[in-house]
Amino acid sequence: MRKLSSALTCLFCLMSVLSFSVKAEDTVKAEATLVASEVDSTPPLSRAENITTTYIHYPFEKLEWVDPSGSLALSGITPRRSVRFTVKRNEIVTKSYMELFYTPSPSLIPVRSQLNVYLNGIMQKTIPIHKEDLGKKVSTKVALDTHIIRDENLIEFEFIGHYTDYCENPVDTTLWLNISAQTTLHLGKQLLHLANDLSSFPLPFINTSTGDKTVLSLIFPQEPDLETIKAASIFSSYGGTISSWRGVDYPVFLDKLPSEGNAVVFMTNSNRPVFLKDYPKTDTPVIEMADIPGTQSDKMLIINAPDSQGLVVACRALAQGNVLFNGPLSRILEFKEIEKRKPYDAPNWADTSKKITFGSLTNFEGQLSSQGFAPAPIELELNLPPDLYFVNGSRIAMDLIYKYTKPSKLGLSQMRLIINEKLIRSYPLNPDEETDEISEYIPLLGNLNIFNRTNVDTSFLRAQNQFRFDFKYSLMFTSKMNECNTIVPIPNRVEIDPNSSFDFTNIYHFTKMPNLNTFWQSGYPFSIYADLQRTAIVLSELNETSELNTLFNTLARIGSQLGYPALNLEIIDARHEEAIKAAGDKDFLVIGRIPDVLSNNENAAIVLNKTEQSIKTSFNDSMPNRFTEEKAVAVQNIKQSNYTGIGAIVSYRSPLSDERTLVAIISDSSEGMSNISQNIIVNHSSIIAAGSVTVIDHNRAKNYDVGDSYYIGDLPWYQRMYYMLLESPFLLMFLCLFSALIFCVLMYRTLRRIQRARLRLQALRKEQ
C-alpha cells in the first residue's frame, strides 16, 4: 500500500515537473532577452563569472507574512497560506531546498489529507499525511526548482484536510496543520559580477529589494573639509530616503578602502585618497561607477568634482533626481536649484492641511480590499507630524465608506476599527442591509492626545499609526444529524472606498520640548522642514570616523522617516564660534563635543551634569530600564569610572534662541560613538529615546527628563490659555467665581442706583 502511494507521489511529481518545464523555458527565454539588452549597452566582458557558492539559511521566522510566532497555521477555513522571500539582483540561486517541519492534526484521515507546496505558483511537492505522522512533528525535505526563483518569490502551502467520511464541516476545529518555525529555507547563492552601469542606480549600492540593511562605506581623503562632509551628508540622507525602513549604515574611511562591501568615494581634483591619486582630473562634477580593485563584485561610486563645492552640487543633483544615469559615468552639467520646502510637507507625513483620503495612504494595489471566509484585516499606515496638539474636543473626523458582502443572518458579523492595536469601535455588518454602502462619521473623541500634558506614552494616536479594519464574519455551517447537506461556503469580500478620509485640518502644531522621543521617532524638530533647511549641524572633529558615521547614520534615519533628502542643511565646525552664532535661529544637531557657545547656560549645565552623572552611575545599578522623571539639579559629580563605551543623546533649549532646540549626540569615547551610530539605524535597535537625556550603552538605554521645559508650535494665545487650564477645573471654577463676583458687584451698584432713581421724582425726559 505504502509503496503504491509513494510510487504514485513520484509519478505525480514527475508529471508536474514535466508539465511545468514548459513554463520554465519561457522564463529562461525572458532572461535571455534581458541579457541581450545588457549586451547592447555594456562591454561583453561583464557577463557573470561564477566563482564561489555561498549557502544561506533562512529560518521561517525571518521571512515575511508568517505569524508572529514564526509558524504557519493552516485550517479548514484558511487552507492556503504563503511566505515570501527575496533574492538580490546581483545574486543567482544555484541550489535551493526547504527543510519542512510540520505537525498534522491527529484526527485527520491519512493519505486523503495532504499538504501541497508551491513555489511561485508552481507545485513543488505534495506531501500525503501518513498514519504514523498524525499528531507528531514530521520533517521532510522539499526540493525547490531554482529555475523559477525570481527576485520576489512566494512559497505557498495548501492544506487538504479530511476528518470524516460523512458530513464534513470545514469549520471543524480538528482540521488543522501547523508548519513549524523550525522550517528553514536553504539557498545556495553565487554572486554575479555586475556591469558598471549607473542606469540601475541606486542598485547595487543601496538595497531596496530585500529586508536587509545596507552597509555602504563612505571614503574621504585625509582631512575632508566642511563642504565635502556636507556633500556626503546630503548623499547619506538620500540613501536613507531610498532604503526607507531597511536602514543604512555608513562606515567612514579616511584615505583607505574598506575590506568588504560597496563604497562611495568623495574627492576633488586637489584632495583625493591615495588609492585614486592617479585618477583623471575633471572640470565638471562627475559621478562614476567603478569596480573596487581586488574584489569580485564590490563596486564603488566615485563622486568627483573640481572642488568641494562641486561635490555638494553633485550630491544635491543626485538627491534631487536630476542626474541622467546612463553607462558608467554621468556628468553634472547643469544644476537647478529647487524651491525650499514648506513646514510639515515631508512626503512620508500625511498632509494635515487638507483631508487625507484613504487612497493616498495605500502602498500597493488592492490594499483596501480583502476576501476570504475570514477576510484578512485591511491595514493602513498613517504617519503624522509628531507635534499635533489634540485636546479633548479636537475632533478627528473619519469619513468611512465600506462595502461588504452580506453576512449570514445567524450570529454577529462586525467590522472592527483598531488603531495602534487598540479597539476603537465595532460596527455591525447588517445582514438585511439592502444597500451595501454605509457612511460613518466617527469623531475620535476622548483622550486622543498625541501630545498630552503629563505623559507622552498614554497617547492614543502616535506619530506612526496603524489603522486596521477587521471584518469579522460569523461562520455557520449547520446540518442536522442524518441529513447531510453539502454547503459550499462562498468567500466574503470587503472593500473600503478610497474616498474615505480623515480630517486633521484645524489642528495646531504645539508640543512640549525637549522631547527626544519625537526626535527618535520622527527626527523632530529638524524634520519640520523636510529639507532640513532650519538645521545646523555642529561637528567637533572632522577627522573622527565614528562621529562622521554617527552623523551620516542619523541623517539617513531622518531621511528615511521623512522620505526627503536633507538638501539644505548647514554644517558648522564647532571651532567657529561666529558661524555658530550666525546660525542662531536654527535647530542644532551637535555631534561629538558641545561647543561652549551652546553649553554655557544654566539649563545646559543641568542637563549635561545629569548626563555625565548618569553615564557614570546608571548602568551600575540593577534598576529596571524605564523612564525616570527628575527635575532636580544633579549635584553629584563623580569624576571618572572605568566603564567606557557609553554614548548619550541630550536635548535642551538652544541657548541662542528660545524657540529652537539643540540635540547633541555625545559619548565618552569613540566606542561610545560607534555604539550610537549602530543604534541609530532605522529598525535595527530596540532602544527608544525619550525625555531630554538618553544614555545608551550597547543595546540598553535610560531616559531622563531634566532641565527646563518649553513649548514650540503655532498655537494661538487663546489656545495656550485653554492648554494651561486643561486639567484644572478648580482654577476655572475660581475664575468663574471671580468674574461672577466682579460682575455681580458692578451690577449691584448699578441696579441699586437705578432702583433709587426709579423711586425718586423723575424729571420730564422730554424737557431735558
Partner 1 sequence: MNSILKFFASIKDRYIIWRIHGSSVVACLVNLLFLCLAYLFIPLETSSFNKIRNNFYYYYPQIKKDNPRVFDPLRIIIQTLFLLFIRQSPLDKTNISVFSAAVIRLFNKYAKQPFVRLTEKYTDAIYDKTVKKNVFISRRRRNLTRVLLFASFVTSALAVTQPFDLTYQFIFVILMWLIALLLRAVNNRVSLMLMIFISIIIATRYIYWRLSQTIILITPFTAFCSITLFVAEIYTYIILLLSYFQVSWVLDRKPYPLPKDLKLWPTVDIFIPTYNESLDVVSPCLLACLDLDWPKDKLKIYLLDDGSRSEFEEYCQKIGINYIKRNEHKHAKAGNINNALKITQGELIAIFDCDHIPTRAFLQMTCGWMVHDKNIALVQTPHHFYSEDPFEKNLKLNGRLPAENALFHDFIQKGNDTWNATMFCGSCAVIRRAPLEEIGGIAVETVTEDAHTSLRLNRRGYSSAFISMPLAAGLATESLADHINQRIRWARGMIQIFRIDNPLLGKGLTIPQRLCFTNAMIHFLHGLPRIIFLLAPLPYLFCNVYVIFASGLAILSFVLPYMFYSTLTNQMIQYNKRFYFWGVVYETILSWYITLPTLIALLSPEHGKFNVTAKGASNTSTYFDWTVSKPYILLIVLNMSGFLFGLYNIIFNPYAEISTILINLGWVSYNLLILGAASAVALEAKQVRASPRVNCNMEAMLEAGNGYSIMVNIIDFSKEGLGIALPTLHEKNQLLSEVFHEGSKIHITIRKEDLNYRFAGIVRFSGRNKLGIKVILKDLKSNIEYIRCTFATADRWSHSYDNITPDSLIHGIHTLIVLGLRGYLKMLDNTPHIIREFLWITLKIMIFFFSMLPQPLDVTRPFRKKKSEHNEKQNLTVNGS
- d(CA 453, CA 709) in angstroms, rounded, equals 12
C-alpha cell belonging to residue 10: 513520484
Considering only the stretches 211-219, 484-492, 503-511, 756-764, report the one whose residues sit in contact with partner 1 under the rule CB under 8 A.
756-764
Residue 734's Cβ-side half-sphere holds a number of Cα atoms within 13 Å equal to 4
CB of 497 to partner 1, least distance (A): 15
Instruction: List binders of partner 1 among 266-305 (CB under 8 A).
Output: none
Helix axes 729-759, 717-725, angle to 10 degrees: 110
Q: Is 18 helix (H, G, I), strand (E, B) or coil?
A: helix
CB of 406 to partner 1, least distance (A): 16
Please identify which residue in 22, 441, 481, 621 interacts with partner 1, judged by CB under 8 A.
441
- Nearer of residues 476 and 721 to partner 1, judged by Cβ: 721
- Nearer of residues 200 and 430 to partner 1, judged by Cβ: 430
DSSP 324-382: ---SSEEE-------PPPPBT--TTS--TTS-EEGGGG-SSTTTTEEEETTTPPEEEEE
The set of residues, in sequence order, having a beta carbon less than 8 Å from that of 360 and lying 6+ positions away, is none
What are the Cα distances from residue 604, in Å, to 537, 645, 652, 663, 691?
18, 23, 7, 11, 14
- Nearer of residues 643 and 722 to partner 1, judged by Cβ: 722
What are the Cα distances from residue 523, in Å, to 531, 647, 689, 749?
12, 18, 11, 59
CB of 248 to partner 1, least distance (A): 42
Please identify which residue in 391, 422, 495, 529 interacts with partner 1, judged by CB under 8 A.
391
| Residues written for the chain | 768
The answer to the question of residue 245 lying near partner 1 (CB under 8 A) is no
The answer to the question of residue 141 lying near partner 1 (CB under 8 A) is no
Distance of CA 690 to the CA centre of its chain: 18
CB of 38 to partner 1, least distance (A): 58
Residue 669's Cβ-side half-sphere holds a number of Cα atoms within 13 Å equal to 11
The answer to the question of residue 741 lying near partner 1 (CB under 8 A) is yes
Q: Please list the alpha-helical segments (H only) found in 523-562.
A: 545-562
- d(CA 154, CA 121) in angstroms, rounded, equals 8
Considering only the stretches 95-103, 367-375, 629-637, 714-722, report the one whose residues sit in contact with partner 1 under the rule CB under 8 A.
714-722
Considering only the stretches 308-316, 628-636, 672-680, 726-734, report the one whose residues sit in contact with partner 1 under the rule CB under 8 A.
726-734
Considering only the stretches 23-31, 85-93, 568-576, 745-753, report the one whose residues sit in contact with partner 1 under the rule CB under 8 A.
745-753
Please identify which residue in 43, 321, 366, 393 interacts with partner 1, judged by CB under 8 A.
393
Please identify which residue in 176, 443, 461, 465 interacts with partner 1, judged by CB under 8 A.
443
Please identify which residue in 222, 322, 439, 543 interacts with partner 1, judged by CB under 8 A.
439
- d(CA 668, CA 657) in angstroms, rounded, equals 28
Considering only the stretches 30-38, 84-92, 95-103, 739-747, report the one whose residues sit in contact with partner 1 under the rule CB under 8 A.
739-747
Q: Is 757 helix (H, G, I), strand (E, B) or coil?
A: helix
- Nearer of residues 643 and 743 to partner 1, judged by Cβ: 743
- Nearer of residues 34 and 741 to partner 1, judged by Cβ: 741
Instruction: List binders of partner 1 among 523-562 (CB under 8 A).
Output: none
Size of the site for partner 1 (CB under 8 A): 52
The answer to the question of residue 392 lying near partner 1 (CB under 8 A) is yes
Q: Is 237 helix (H, G, I), strand (E, B) or coil?
A: helix
Distance of CA 541 to the CA centre of its chain: 31
Residue 723's Cβ-side half-sphere holds a number of Cα atoms within 13 Å equal to 20
Type of residue found at 466: Q
Please identify which residue in 266, 446, 517, 612 interacts with partner 1, judged by CB under 8 A.
446
The answer to the question of residue 423 lying near partner 1 (CB under 8 A) is no
CB of 513 to partner 1, least distance (A): 23
Instruction: List binders of partner 1 among 644-683 (CB under 8 A).
Output: none
The answer to the question of residue 505 lying near partner 1 (CB under 8 A) is no
The answer to the question of residue 410 lying near partner 1 (CB under 8 A) is no
Considering only the stretches 6-14, 48-56, 594-602, 732-740, report the one whose residues sit in contact with partner 1 under the rule CB under 8 A.
732-740
What are the Cα distances from residue 147, in Å, to 23, 24, 151, 184, 185?
10, 7, 12, 19, 16
Residues near partner 1, by CB under 8 A = 391-395, 412, 428, 439, 441, 443, 445-447, 718, 721-722, 725-727, 729-730, 732-733, 735-749, 751-756, 758-759, 761-766
